[in-house]
């Protein structure tokens, strides 16, 4: 089935999704370079998976060494893929059966084409002009789509890490599964049962149909903070560089990453030499039969599934290398009317009465029995709690400052229009229902978070103060983060208890992204959403407090009106948000 653009970005294994995401470039020369990196990264990923399977099946040491060449490049990885597939053809129990016919697939021919293109570029046989790059991209668009379609099967095979394995009183081994798909390093935190024999803290690739899991160490590493893949240095390299590399060029390795090959026994944290690794049979990868119970396997498969069904996607994945430029920024777009709130085919209807509406749910995340369910909720899928940050103290002060300013000021200014006539701004935070137009705008924003389209992008300023990030990211990044979090859990908003107020742009609590928004009408509207996020791990796990899986409190939206359109310039969790899944823990979760 053809791979669409959204699924390529959010459904492919993490390293390939990262490389694909980098293709959305304005400069054709940069785009072409990123395209070749994606193609080579795809070859590397498939080659190391096949080598991991061969090692698990007892490939002789000499042949295994032949697959692990220092300084390997694109052409060598193609050789590994071809050789490994031929070598396993006689088997009837091959892992990832889709690879059996890969050498006859157009994707294989596309990889060879991109390798030739890379060689031409490396040996300066390809002009580096913008015109040449644009023409080459246009000529290779179909080949790129064929490559993507040929690896679409990877979206059906979960990639991730088990952590925190423990034996329950009844002898059942439980653990937490962290998916490594899309743009998120750790997408979700699923508790699974019957995880016996599956190793913890090693990257695993799962074949649900064959009910097998393949351990990928030492060919891939997935630490708490980074993904790396094997990149063996030359033994004569005086630089003593690491045996691992990050998928994106220029990304540094983190402290603690082994310089040698990952030691599965844990005896050598710094890693092993290739000779030492080959000599130790305990280091070989394993193919482990899955004993997971049915709900656990379904949950893991769901964690690898594309965010949306393919049939509702319209943009082919190869769009990113076509003549079209990346989506224009907000300032470049012509003014558009507010999108209607008609139901989207793959989302439930959002009633204007703000009744509970599940947008996407997770089977295993039921509300805590002792907690009274909040009334009038607008539910959303989860995966959004990146950063519980401070726009916090400011929100309370903002109301006070606004009250003082208005009590001493001349006549209040006209309310800001958002397509509909708004109620007059209250002097202090008032119920969201007192401003029907603003409430309608929020109701359209909430389900739209799970879409990455022009209508949603038009709701954001060019640069938005987002969570506690040191730099103001663009809307595409923010919506991408939302989609990842909403795929993994639920984000619930109680509109009946949410409030709003208007403040001045010179307020010290208003982020610079809001104060400097070009062409904006006077004033900043602050919406305080009563929100609850469930099922997404917040912060880093530690022995003292574990991982927060439920946060409740105030989520802030700051917006201004530009050319008649309301645009978000800041969003974050308020400091009053607390972790509900760890009673007694005073520290708030930190977003990632």
Q: How confident is the model at residue 46 (pLDDT cuts 50, 70, 90)?
A: very high
Residue 339 in any domain: the answer is: no
Which burial class, exposed, middle or buried, applies to 117 when counting CB atoms under 10 A from its CB (0-12, 13-18, 19+)?
buried
Instruction: Tally the C-alpha atoms within 13 A of residue 146's C-alpha that lie toward its C-beta.
Output: 18
**Is there a single domain that holds both residue 130 and residue 181?**
no
Answer for the pair 415, 422: CB distance below 8 angstroms, yes or no: yes
Q: Tell if the pTM clears 0.85, that is, is over it.
A: no
pLDDT, tens digit, for every residue of 220-246? 988 878 899 999 988 776 556 789 999
Residue 369 in any domain: the answer is: no
Rama region for 46: left / alpha / beta (φ>0; ψ in -120 to 50; rest): alpha
**Is there a single domain that holds both residue 116 and residue 133?**
yes
| Helix or strand (DSSP H, E) at 44 | helix 28-56
Residue 347 in any domain: the answer is: no
**Could you tell me which residues come within 8 angstroms of residue 495 by beta carbon, excluding any fewer than 6 positions away?**
354, 376, 378, 432, 433, 439, 442, 443, 529
Question: In this structure, what are the phi and psi dihedrals at residue 382, rounded to the nearest 5 degrees?
Answer: -105, 170
Residue 184 in any domain: the answer is: yes
**Is there a single domain that holds both residue 314 and residue 236?**
no
Q: Give the number of residues written for the chain.
A: 592
Answer for the pair 223, 230: CB distance below 8 angstroms, yes or no: no
- List the domain range (segments joined by +) for residue 14: 5-156+307-321
Residue 585 in any domain: the answer is: no
pLDDT, tens digit, for every residue of 332-366? 333 333 333 233 222 222 332 332 333 232 233 33
The dihedral built from the CA positions of residue 277, 280, 281 and 287, taken in this order, carries a sign that is negative
**Is there a single domain that holds both residue 149 and residue 195?**
no
Residue 287 in any domain: the answer is: yes
Whole-number Cα distances in Å, 121 to 116, 135, 147, 194, 426: 9, 14, 20, 50, 63
pLDDT, tens digit, for every residue of 10-34? 889 999 999 999 998 888 999 999 9
Whole-number Cα distances in Å, 106 to 34, 144, 294, 534: 21, 10, 35, 42
Which of 69, 70, 103, 71 has its CA nearest to residue 84?
A: 103
Judge whether residue 401 has pLDDT over 70: no
User: Residue range 242-271: average pLDDT?
Assistant: 86
Q: How confident is the model at residue 323 (pLDDT cuts 50, 70, 90)?
A: low
Number of Cβ within 10 Å of residue 503's Cβ equals: 23
**Is there a single domain that holds both residue 286 and residue 383?**
no
Residue 442 in any domain: the answer is: yes
CA pair distance 384, 553, nearest whole angstrom? 14
Model pLDDT, residue 349: 28
Residue 498 in any domain: the answer is: yes
Q: Which of 19-28, 67-76, 372-381, 562-571 has the lowest mean pLDDT?
A: 372-381
């Amino acid at each position: 089935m053809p791979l669409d653009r959204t699924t390529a970005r959010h459904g492919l294994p993490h390293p390939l999704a990262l490389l694909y995401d980098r293709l959305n470039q304005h400069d054709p020369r940069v785009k072409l370079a990123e395209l070749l990196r994606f193609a080579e990264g795809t070859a590397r990923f498939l080659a190391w998976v096949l080598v991991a399977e061969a090692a698990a099946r007892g490939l002789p040491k000499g042949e295994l060494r032949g697959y692990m060449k220092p300084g390997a490049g694109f052409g060598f990885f193609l050789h590994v893929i071809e050789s490994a597939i031929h070598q396993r053809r006689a088997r009837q129990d091959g892992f990832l059966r889709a690879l059996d016919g890969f050498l006859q697939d157009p994707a294989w021919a596309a990889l060879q084409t991109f390798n030739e293109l890379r060689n031409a570029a490396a040996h300066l046989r390809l002009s580096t002009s913008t015109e040449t790059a644009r023409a080459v991209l246009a000529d290779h668009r179909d080949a790129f789509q064929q490559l993507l379609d040929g690896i679409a099967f990877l979206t059906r095979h979960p990639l991730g890490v088990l952590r925190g394995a423990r034996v329950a009183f009844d002898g059942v081994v439980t653990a937490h599964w962290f998916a490594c798909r899309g743009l998120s390093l750790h997408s979700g935190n699923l508790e699974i049962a019957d995880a016996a024999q599956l190793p913890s803290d090693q990257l695993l690739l799962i074949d649900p149909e064959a009910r097998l899991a393949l351990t990928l160490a030492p060919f891939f590493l997935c630490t708490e903070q980074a993904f790396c893949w094997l990149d063996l240095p030359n033994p004569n390299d005086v630089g003593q560089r690491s045996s691992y590399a990050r998928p994106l060029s220029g990304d540094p390795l983190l402290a603690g990453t082994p310089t040698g090959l990952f030691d599965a026994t844990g005896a050598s944290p710094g890693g092993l030499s290739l000779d030492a690794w080959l000599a130790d049979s305990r280091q070989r990868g394993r193919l482990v039969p899955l004993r997971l119970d049915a709900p656990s396997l379904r949950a893991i498969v769901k964690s690898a599934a594309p965010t949306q069904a393919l049939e509702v996607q319209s943009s082919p994945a190869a769009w990113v290398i076509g003549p079209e430029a990346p989506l224009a920024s907000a300032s470049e777009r012509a003014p558009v009317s507010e999108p209607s709130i008609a139901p989207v085919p793959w989302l439930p209807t959002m009633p204007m009465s703000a009744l509970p509406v599940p947008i996407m749910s997770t089977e295993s995340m039921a509300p805590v029995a002792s907690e009274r369910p909040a009334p009038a909720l607008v539910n959303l899928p989860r995966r959004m709690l990146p950063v519980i940050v401070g726009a916090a103290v400011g929100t309370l002060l903002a109301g006070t400052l606004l009250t003082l300013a208005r009590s001493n000021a001349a006549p209040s200014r006209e309310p800001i229009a958002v397509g509909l006539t708004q109620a007059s701004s209250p002097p202090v935070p008032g119920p969201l229902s007192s401003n029907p137009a603003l409430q309608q705008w929020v109701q359209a924003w909430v389900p739209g978070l799970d879409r990455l389209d022009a209508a949603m992008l038009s709701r954001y300023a060019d640069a938005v103060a987002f969570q506690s990030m040191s730099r103001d990211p663009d809307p595409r990044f923010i919506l991408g983060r939302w989609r990842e979090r909403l795929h993994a859990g639920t984000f619930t908003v109680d509109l009946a208890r949410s409030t709003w107020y208007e403040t001045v742009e010179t307020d010290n609590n208003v982020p610079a992204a809001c104060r400097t928004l070009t062409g904006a009408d006077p004033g900043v509207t602050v919406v305080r959403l009563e929100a609850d996020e469930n099922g997404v791990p917040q912060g880093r796990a530690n022995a003292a407090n574990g991982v927060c899986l439920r946060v409740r409190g105030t989520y802030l939206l700051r917006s201004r009106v530009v050319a008649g359109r309301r645009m978000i310039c800041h969003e974050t969790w308020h400091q009053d948000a607390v972790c509900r899944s760890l009673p007694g823990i005073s520290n708030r979760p930190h977003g990632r």
